[in-house]
Amino acid sequence: MATITTFHDKICRSPKTELHVHIEGALTPELMFHLAKRNNVKLPYNSADELRAAYSFTNLQSFLDICGVGVSVLITSRDFYDVTMDYIQHAVSDNIVHSELFFDPQLHTHRGIELTTIIDGIERALIEAEQKYNFSSKLIMCFLRHLDEQDALDTFSRALPLFEQYKHRLIGIGLDSTEQNHPPEEFQRLFARAREHHLRVVAHAGEEGPPLYVKQALDILKVERIDHGVRSVEDELLMKRLVDVKIPLTICPLSNIKLKVFDDMKKHSLKQLLDSSVMLTINSDDPAYFGGYLNANYLAVTDAFHLNQNDIYKIIRNGFEASFIEEEKRQLLIKQLDAYWKESP
């Protein structure tokens, strides 16, 4: 047991990246009730404990329904600052040195919240984190696939000045929300426009959706990373392609269990992906809802699959290599990572 504890400690202390985390999913029950009181928003729960007890999700949609309740408290720039800073505190505690955060503007603009309100609050927190913790970060604007492409295109058009204003931070777009009956091909024009503006592109695919959705995200949307992608193991040719082209998957293990993608961590496809040399990374997704921030995800898969130091080092390094960080800084961070794993007991 002592050896396992020491290995756990080494994992927790290691510098890491996080490439798949949603700002809206970092809203803890306690902060939700605090913001509800500040903004005079009535929640359909009487306490943070009662809300947390409702986190018995049966699928992705059941989570999205409760998440929709949560975002109702995010109204002012200060609110977006607070939820971002709360995530940063957890990230720094988990020794994350670079994070690429998702946010969903349509969740807020449909409620009458201005795009500038959202980004200004998030950006203030990220600037403060950089100054206080040397915390590196990028932002990716995600679009909701259960809404039609025209809605996404309209939102993207309104956001274009912000991509220019915040080009140091706001570097790409993504696609999220429920996959069922919403294939990536429905968003071909949106992603083409993003690429025309030299933005990075990623998409959720192969979580609840089939391997076909992963292939569409690669072939039609031409994404650089696949968020989730855990069902790729069902397609042998797709697996070979992921390995040959080094397409990163941003896997979120505890999320996959909480949303019933797998009913047990030992049945997760992560080990099969790892053994097949797919470039996978580990992330927390919506940590306030799924019962664990980044270190908890690493420890869960380490224990479930008896991963060794080489496995964990490889996964952590994948995160740096798959990130959209500037190359000079990437190499510096990898050098620090290598020094840590070489020198730490």
* pLDDT tens-digit map of 26-40: 999 999 999 999 999
Task: Work out whether the CA dihedral 172, 194, 234, 324 comes out positive or negative.
Answer: negative
Q: 153 is in which domain, residue-wise?
A: 2-343
| Three-state DSSP class for residue 252 | coil
How many independent structural domains does the chain possess?
Answer: 1
Alpha carbons 201 and 174: distance in angstroms, whole number? 6
pLDDT for the residue numbered 345: 67
pLDDT for the residue numbered 64: 81
pLDDT for the residue numbered 5: 65
Alpha carbons 55 and 53: distance in angstroms, whole number? 5
Question: Confidence band (pLDDT; 50, 70, 90) for 57?
Answer: confident
Is the pLDDT reported for residue 332 higher than 60? yes
With a pLDDT cut of 90, the percent of the chain lying above it is 91
* CATH code where residue 321 lies: 3.20.20.140
Average pLDDT, the chain: 95
Is the pLDDT reported for residue 21 higher than 60? yes
1-5, 131-135, 212-216: range with lowest mean pLDDT: 1-5
Q: What is the largest CA-CA distance in the chain?
A: 56
DSSP 7-30: HHHHHHHS-EEEEEEEGGGG--HH
User: What does pTM read for this prediction?
Assistant: 0.96
Tell me which residue of 152, 157, 212, 210 sits closest to 176, measured CA to CA: 152
For 194-233, how does the pLDDT look when each residue is reduced to its tens digit (9 = 90+)? 999 999 999 999 999 999 999 999 999 999 999 999 999 9
pLDDT for the residue numbered 262: 97
Q: Would you give the DSSP letter of residue 209?
A: S
With a pLDDT cut of 70, the percent of the chain lying above it is 98
Question: Confidence band (pLDDT; 50, 70, 90) for 62?
Answer: confident
For 233-286, how does the pLDDT look when each residue is reduced to its tens digit (9 = 90+)? 999 999 999 999 999 999 999 999 999 999 999 999 999 999 999 999 999 999
- Return the active site residues: 207
